[in-house]
Amino acid sequence: MTILYHNSSQIIQVEDQGRLYKRGAEMSEIPILEKGWMLVENGKIIDLGSGKCPGCERYDESVDLQGKLVLPAFVDSHTHLVYAANREDEFAMRLSGKSYAEIAAAGGGILNSARKLAEAPEEALLHGAYHRLQDLMRMGTGALEIKSGYGLSTESELKMLRIVRQLKEKSGLDIKSTFLGAHAIPEKFKGNQEGYVNLVIDEMLPAIAEKSLADYVDVFCEEGYFNLDQSLRILEAAKAYGLSAKVHVNQFNSLGAIEAMVDMGALSLDHLEVMSPKEISYLADSQTIATALPGCSLFLDIPYAPGRAIIDEGGILALATDFNPGSAPGGNMALMMSLACTQMKLSTEEALVAATLNGAAAIEMSDEIGSLERGKWANFITLPPGFSLASIPYHFGHNLIMDLYLKGEKKL
């Protein structure tokens, strides 16, 4: 099946160099085709150009884009999409002056979500997560990562990862799964952190690996959660099962994790709200992707990751939503671009690359998605005629997405 998409106002971020990511100054480079066309065969892009498509008379179907703007679908490389219930009550507590740490100490936070998830039937969890996934698609997300971490027991962690697998099968989206059993210390292990770390290593990891339920492993390396030594032990144990590391670090404190995680070859380090100049340089000099989560910073009123400095130092920066019920209850990648521009001082071009190609690199799919180039899947979104790339961060909070195409098939 060959489809010609034509009569766009622009096709943005057209690549021809086969780059798996962009770093530093490269992130400002986004080739644009004026009045662009795209030829897609069996879901993959086989050619692109401007104006009239030469030699494109042979096609099975023609789609007139009617002057719409075309750009790659968003790739959200850090979400917690599977959960049992929202946490508006904790939001009210924060508005009354309670801190994130105080709410967690009072039995809220991650442990609250874990209790509710353990009680929820698998079918209900799948239904809720699928509904949220459809919302993300309507806002232009075409691929994403989903973490476990609200299970905190072998049974519940397996349940969450089974749901992620079902979401992938049901939706047809490219979804990567991450095992985050080390998200918090469950109540039954209070005062026995080592016991829980051993459970993650000796019981959870083998059970998950046996069923091939995870692509990656994650740890919340933070004061009050898992220290650096515990985090490294879990991540090293996961290596034996072929699970690369995507790690929560430097959200509230710097524990020396950045240097250690880079040295062990972590695929991405996520959050990064608290960083020293030395840590910025160390991360920027590596192949590890820095993933900023500006929605969390907005919601918790904490610092934003130093995205401008990471790019200026030559680093690889990605943007993701951190969509979760406690600290980032929103999955709008366009809003993440807006926050990256206004609060992290990125250009519109840099924000787009961070939300597409570099996000795809953070889930090891940038050879297939994340930019519009020959040989990649035709995963793209459209904006109305008359809108530009700058319209996305400018109209913050608005959903400008008209169409989502995945592998050349219109999804909305």
Do 274 and 130 fall into the same domain?
yes
> How far apart, in whole angstroms, are the C-alpha atoms of residue 374 and residue 378?
9
Using the 3D structure, point to which of 339, 362, 385 is the last residue of a domain.
362
Quick one: pLDDT at residue 105?
77
Do 61 and 162 fall into the same domain?
no
375 is in an annotated binding site: no
6 is in an annotated binding site: no
Q: What are phi and psi of 244, to 5 degrees?
A: -75, 160
Question: Per-residue b/e over 189-212, b at no fewer than 16 CB within 10 Å?
Answer: beeeeeebbebbbeebbeebbeee
Quick one: pLDDT at residue 52?
87
Quick one: pLDDT at residue 78?
98
183 is in an annotated binding site: yes
3-state secondary structure the chain: CEEEEECCCEEECECCCCCCCCCHHHHHCCCEEECEEEEEECCEEEEEEECCCCCCCCCCEEEECCCCEEEECEEECCECCCCCCCCHHHHHHHHCCCCHHHHHHCCCCHHHHHHHHHHCCHHHHHHHHHHHHHHHHHCCEEEEEEECCCCCCHHHHHHHHHHHHHHHHHHCCEEEEEEEEECCCCHHHCCCHHHHHHHHHHHHHHHHHHCCCCCEEEEEECCCCECHHHHHHHHHHHHCCCCEEEEEECCCCCCCHHHHHHHCCCCEEEECCCCCHHHHHHHHCCCCEEEECHHHHHHHCCCCCCHHHHHHCCCCEEECCCEECCCECCCCHHHHHHHHHHCCCCCHHHHHHHHCHHHHHCCCCCCCCCCECCCCECCEEEECCCCCCCHHHHCCCCCCCCEEEECCEECC
Using the 3D structure, point to which of 362, 381, 401 is the last residue of a domain.
362
Do 174 and 313 fall into the same domain?
yes
78 is in an annotated binding site: yes
100 is in an annotated binding site: no
Quick one: pLDDT at residue 17?
83
Using the 3D structure, point to which of 323, 342, 362 is the last residue of a domain.
362
Do 181 and 280 fall into the same domain?
yes
Do 205 and 86 fall into the same domain?
yes
42 is in an annotated binding site: no
Do 230 and 357 fall into the same domain?
yes
Do 87 and 182 fall into the same domain?
yes
Do 212 and 303 fall into the same domain?
yes
Do 106 and 231 fall into the same domain?
yes
For 254, residues 6+ apart whose C-beta sits below 8 A from its C-beta are 274, 275, 276, 279
324 is in an annotated binding site: yes
User: How confident is the chain (412 residues) per 10-residue block, as mean pLDDT?
Assistant: 95 90 97 96 96 84 96 98 92 84 79 93 97 98 98 97 97 96 95 97 98 98 96 98 97 96 98 98 98 97 97 98 96 98 98 98 98 97 97 96 97 90
Quick one: pLDDT at residue 56?
78
Do 212 and 198 fall into the same domain?
yes
Quick one: pLDDT at residue 2?
94
Q: Supply the CATH number for residue 316's domain.
A: 3.20.20.140
Do 14 and 84 fall into the same domain?
no
Domain that holds residue 35: 2-72+370-410
Q: Is the distance from CB of 320 to CB of 77 less than 8 angstroms? A: yes
* Residue 33 tokens, joined: 């085709």
Do 375 and 358 fall into the same domain?
no
Quick one: pLDDT at residue 100?
74
- Report the number of distinct structural domains present in the chain: 2
131 is in an annotated binding site: no
242 is in an annotated binding site: no
Q: Supply the CATH number for residue 59's domain.
A: 2.30.40.10
